[in-house]
Amino acid sequence: MKTLLDIEEGQTVEIKEIKGGPCFKRRLAAVGIFPGSKVRVVKNAPGPIIVEVEKSRFALGRGMARRIVVR
């Protein structure tokens, strides 16, 4: 099972599943992070991970990124 944390910088991946409560999922879905959407990993080094979704950039905590399963 690969999560966002396993993705190299610069790669684009499709989100497979988001593990967590409904609030967590809704919050991410509102900015375009949901199963089926594509995100590009901009930075994956110590500290929050940076992803790009539909032209917006977000920094998310690594604990959060670990719960985002990708394919």
Partner 1 sequence: MKKKLIAALVGNPNVGKTAIMNMLAGTKAKVGNWPGVTVERKEGKYSFRGFEITLIDLPGIYSLTSYTIEERVTRNFLLNEQYDAVVNVIDATLLGRNLYLTLELLEMGVKPILALNKIDDIKKFSINFDKLSAIFNLPVISVSAYRNTGFSELSEKIIEVGLNGINGEVFRPTYSDLLEAAISEISMIINEDEQFKKNIRWFAIKLLEGDPEITEMAKQSKVSETLSKALSRIKTEFYERKGEELSSAIPKERFLMASRIARIVIETDYSFEEKEDFRDKVDRIITTPVTGIPIFFAIMAAVFKLTFTFSSPFVKLIGHIFGETLPTMVQSLPLPETLESLINNGVLAGVGSVLSFLPILFVLYILLSILEDTGYMARAAALWDNFMRHFGLSGSSVIPLILGFGCNVPAIYATRAMRSPVHKLITMMIIPWMSCSARLAVYSVFIAAFFQNNRTLIVLSLYTIGIVMGLIFAKIVSLFLVDEGEGEFFIELPSYKFPSLKVVFNQTIIEVKDFLSKAGTIILLASLIIWALASFPAGVRYAGEHSIAGMAGKWLLPLFKPLGINDWKPVVALLFGAVAKEIVVGTMGTLYGNAEMLPTILKTTFTPASAFAYIVFVLLYIPCIATISAIYQESGSKKWVTFIAVVELAVAWITAFAFYHGIKLFAG
Out of 4, 5, 7, 26, the residue judged to bind partner 1 by CB under 8 A: 26
Tokens standing for residue 12:
């684009």
Q: Does 5 bind partner 1 (CB under 8 A)?
A: no
Q: Does 14 bind partner 1 (CB under 8 A)?
A: no
Q: Does 45 bind partner 1 (CB under 8 A)?
A: yes
Distance of alpha carbon 40 from alpha carbon 22, whole angstroms: 24
Provide the binding-site residues for partner 1, judged by CB under 8 A: 9-10, 12, 18, 22-27, 29-32, 34-38, 40, 42-43, 45-48, 50, 54-64
